[in-house]
């Protein structure tokens, strides 16, 4: 009996896949294409390199982080609401109001929304430094947060539920960073300006140079990401 799960799959075998034949006009015929592969079957039930057992590169620790999760629709505002809350633009200068993007904003038409971001402020500081947006959150976010069972959500209701402090630290001194959509069928990477706050569905890399964007967008890395992504 083999006790090691990994070893149990480290055997030669045959994988048979059946693919329906489809024309360019989306007419499906009854014909089928059968593809067979002979080789070592690894832990992800595929034949080829054992990608599942690969280890993280220590040098890349904290290089990649998920975007924020606001937990409260009141944080997200339209450009018109942002202008009303911040007529002189001082709140935007302090990044208390920032452009906000999620996965659909990148892959489809952007919503052109912004987000209130009071990360790092105490409640008293938020009330004194940004009274207009504090009042908005008080009426649109706090009532729902007060009912939340998680202490961090309930007690710090003016802060995003998952503010991603590690992401913020890694992006602090960069003029731009690289992002990709977690749920996209095709793995595409793009630059985002440092002022943009990414949503939870964006995976973000603390890299600002074009060379790194080229590496991430390469055929080899895209194939790796689609097979080995931990997000």
Residues 2-38 have pLDDT tens digits of: 344 444 445 566 556 665 555 656 555 555 555 566 6
pLDDT at 116: 98
Segment 39-43 mean pLDDT? 67
The H-or-E segment that residue 219 falls in is helix 219-228
Q: How confident is the model at residue 65 (pLDDT cuts 50, 70, 90)?
A: very high
**What percent of the chain lies above the pLDDT cut of 70?**
76
Lowest mean pLDDT among 40-54, 57-71, 194-208: 40-54
pLDDT at 224: 79
Structure-model confidence comparison of residues 26 and 179, the more confident one: 179
Structure-model confidence comparison of residues 97 and 230, the more confident one: 97
Rounded CA separation 101/208 (Å): 18
CA neighbor of 81 nearest in space, from 102, 50, 111: 111
* pLDDT for residue 45 is more than 70: no
pTM of the model: 0.76
Backbone angles phi, psi at 20, to 5 degrees: -75, 140
pLDDT at 203: 95
Lookup: tokens for 66:
């998920």
Of 44-48, 60-64, 122-126, 180-184, highest mean pLDDT:
122-126
Lowest mean pLDDT among 49-63, 69-83, 118-132, 166-180: 49-63
Segment 135-155 mean pLDDT? 96
What number of other Cβ atoms are within 10 A of residue 119's Cβ?
16
pLDDT at 95: 94
Q: How confident is the model at residue 105 (pLDDT cuts 50, 70, 90)?
A: very high
pLDDT at 26: 59
Rounded CA separation 154/144 (Å): 9
Please give the span between the terminal C-alpha atoms of the chain, in angstroms, as a whole number.
Answer: 34
Rounded CA separation 98/114 (Å): 5
**C-alpha angle with apex 214: 115 to 203, nearest 5 degrees?**
30
pLDDT at 5: 45
Instruction: Kindly state the DSSP code that residue 141 receives in the 8-state scheme.
Output: T
pLDDT at 99: 97
- Give the SS3 label for residue 36: strand
pLDDT at 31: 55
* pLDDT for residue 163 is more than 70: yes
Q: Tokens 């009042």 correspond to what residue? A: 135
Average pLDDT value for the chain: 85
């Amino acid at each position: 009996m083999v006790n090691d799960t990994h070893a149990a799959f480290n055997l030669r075998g045959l994988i048979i896949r059946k693919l329906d034949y489809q024309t360019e006009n989306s007419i499906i015929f009854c014909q089928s294409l059968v593809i067979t592969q002979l080789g070592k079957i690894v832990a992800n039930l595929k034949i080829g390199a054992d990608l599942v057992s690969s280890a993280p590169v220590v040098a890349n620790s904290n290089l990649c982080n998920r975007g924020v999760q606001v937990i409260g629709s009141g944080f997200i505002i339209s450009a018109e609401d942002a202008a009303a809350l911040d007529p002189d633009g001082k709140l935007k200068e302090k990044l208390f109001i920032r452009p906000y993007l999620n996965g659909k904003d990148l892959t489809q038409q952007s919503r052109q929304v912004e987000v209130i971001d009071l990360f790092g402020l105490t409640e008293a500081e938020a009330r004194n430094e940004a009274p207009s947006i504090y009042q908005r959150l008080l009426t649109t976010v706090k009532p729902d947060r007060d009912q939340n069972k998680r202490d961090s959500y309930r007690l710090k209701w003016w802060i995003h539920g998952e503010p991603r402090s590690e992401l913020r630290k890694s992006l602090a001194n960069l003029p731009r960073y690289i992002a990709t959509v977690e749920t996209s069928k095709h793995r595409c990477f793009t630059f985002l300006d440092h002022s943009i706050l990414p949503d939870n569905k964006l995976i973000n890399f603390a890299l600002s140079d074009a060379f790194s964007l080229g590496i991430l967008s390469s055929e080899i890395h895209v194939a790796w990401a689609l097979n080995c992504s931990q997000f």
